[in-house]
Chains A and B, each alone.
Chain A
Amino acid sequence: MTAPLVVFFVLAALAVIGAVSLILQKHPIHSALSLIVVMIALAGLYLLLGAEFVAAVQIIVYGGAIMVLFVFVIMLLNAGIEEHTSISKMAGAPGLLLVVALAGFVAATIARSTDSIQGTSQTGEMSSTLGISSMIFKEFVYPFELTSFLILVAVLGATVLAQREKS
Chain B
Amino acid sequence: MNSFLSTNAELIITLVKIVMLLFIVLTVNAYLTWFERKVVAHMQSRWGPHRVGPHGLLQPLADGVKFLFKEDPTPAGVDKFVYYLAPLLSLALALTSLALIPFGPEPLPWKFFGQPIYLGIAPPDVNVGILALFAITAMGVYGVALAGWSSNSKYPLLGGLRSSAQMISYELALTMSVVGVLLMAGSFNLKKIIEAQAHHPEWGLFGWNIWPQILGFFCFFVAAVAETNRVPFDLPEAESELVAGFHTEYASFKFAMFFIAEYTSMITVSCLCSIMFFGGWLSPFPASWTFTHYLPSAILIPFGLWVIWDGIRYETIFGRILLPGLGTAFAALGAVFVLLPDVNLFIQGPFWLLSKIFVFLFVYVWMRGTLPRFRYDQLMAFGWKLLLPLSIVNVILTSFAILAKMTWWGTK
Contact = CB atoms under 8 A, between A and B. Distances in A.
> In the complex, are there CB atoms of A and B closer than 8 Å?
yes
Interface of A: 27, 29-30, 33, 36, 52-53, 55-57, 59-60, 63-65, 68, 71-72, 75-76, 127, 129
Contact of A29 (B82, B127, B157): B82
Interface stretch (B22-30, B138-146, B272-280, B363-371): B138-146
A53 B146 contact: no
Interface in B180-199: 188
A80 to B, nearest CB: 11
10 contacts: A29-B82, A59-B139, A64-B141, A64-B171, A71-B142, A71-B145, A71-B146, A75-B149, A75-B161, A127-B127
A56 B128 contact: yes
Interface of B: 79, 81-82, 85, 127-128, 131-132, 134-135, 138-139, 141-142, 145-146, 149, 157, 161, 164, 168, 171, 175, 188
A60 B142 contact: no
Given A30-B82, A56-B132, 6 more contacts: A57-B131, A59-B135, A71-B146, A71-B149, A75-B149, A127-B127
A60 B164 contact: no
Given A75-B157, A129-B127, A29 B138 contact: no
Contact of B168 (A30, A68, A76): A68
Contacts of A68: 141-142, 145, 164, 168
Give the one of B81, B82, B132, B135 with max A CB within 10 A. B135
B145 A30 contact: no
Nearest to B130: A56
Nearest to A59: B135
Given A29-B79, A29-B82, A33-B82, A72 B164 contact: yes
Contacts of A60: 131, 134-135, 138, 175
Contacts, number: 60
Give the one of A55, A60, A71 with max B CB within 10 A. A60
A68 B146 CA distance: 10
A65 B188 contact: no
Contacts of B128: 52-53, 55-56, 129
Nearest to A63: B139
B127 A64 contact: no
A14 B213 CA distance: 42
B127 A52 contact: yes
B272 to A, nearest CB: 16
A140 to B, nearest CB: 19
Contacts of B85: 33
A59 B188 CA distance: 16
A63 B140 CA distance: 10
Nearest to A52: B128
